[in-house]
Amino acid sequence: MSSTVILDDVIDRDSLKSLQSYIIKELQIHNQNYNAKWYSLKEDHLFKDICTSFLQLVNSYFDLSSCIGYEFWTHNNTRPTTRHLDKDEHLLEEKGIYSFPLCSIIYYIFVDVNLVGGKLDIEDDILITPKTNRMIIFPPRKHHYVQPFQGQRVSLLINPWNKTLNNST
């Protein structure tokens, strides 16, 4: 499949409350954000269970059979400041070669109901409002951007790859 997929109510209410508590606590302990880091599918880390659960769900919409690992990071009231492509940053920098993940996954673990702005802008004029417990999956090679916002929003980001990345982005 090559279109953007929007899923609401991805996890049940009780699991969401537990996950929100856990993630927000971990973000507070680790200075508000986790920077992008590559993990093999077998590698253990604080968010492995949620990442692998989300990858299993996403496999229903995008073919992840060649996935050997993923990048994971968070945005806790932050956003990328420019329109960009998710890509292997180091390969591009070192050799001028573009390489893309199998897809891009954004999961909104918490969005303040009074949030102003912050829509995800994906090329082809797709604007998506962030919402708690919403997942957005979009194909590779899509420019995207997060509009400026006021209020609180926390998102988990996962890029599954069919190759090992040498460094985090």
pLDDT at 71: 96
Q: What is the mean pLDDT of residues 56-66?
A: 97
Cβ atoms 45, 138 nearer than 8 A: no
Residue whose entry in the numeric block shows the structure tokens 């200075």 = 31
Structural domains of the chain ordered from first start: 5-161 (2.60.120.620)
* 128 Cβ contact partners less than 8 Å away, ≥ 6 residues apart: 4, 6, 119, 120, 122, 136
pLDDT at 24: 84
Length of the chain: 169
Residues 79-123 pLDDT 10s: 988 999 999 999 999 999 999 999 999 999 999 999 999 999 998
> How far apart, in whole angstroms, are the C-alpha atoms of residue 133 and residue 106?
10
pLDDT at 110: 95
Q: Is the pTM of this model over 0.75?
A: yes
> How far apart, in whole angstroms, are the C-alpha atoms of residue 39 and residue 7?
24
Cβ atoms 21, 139 nearer than 8 A: no
pLDDT at 168: 47
Residues 6-57 pLDDT 10s: 999 999 999 999 999 988 888 888 767 788 899 999 999 989 999 999 999 9
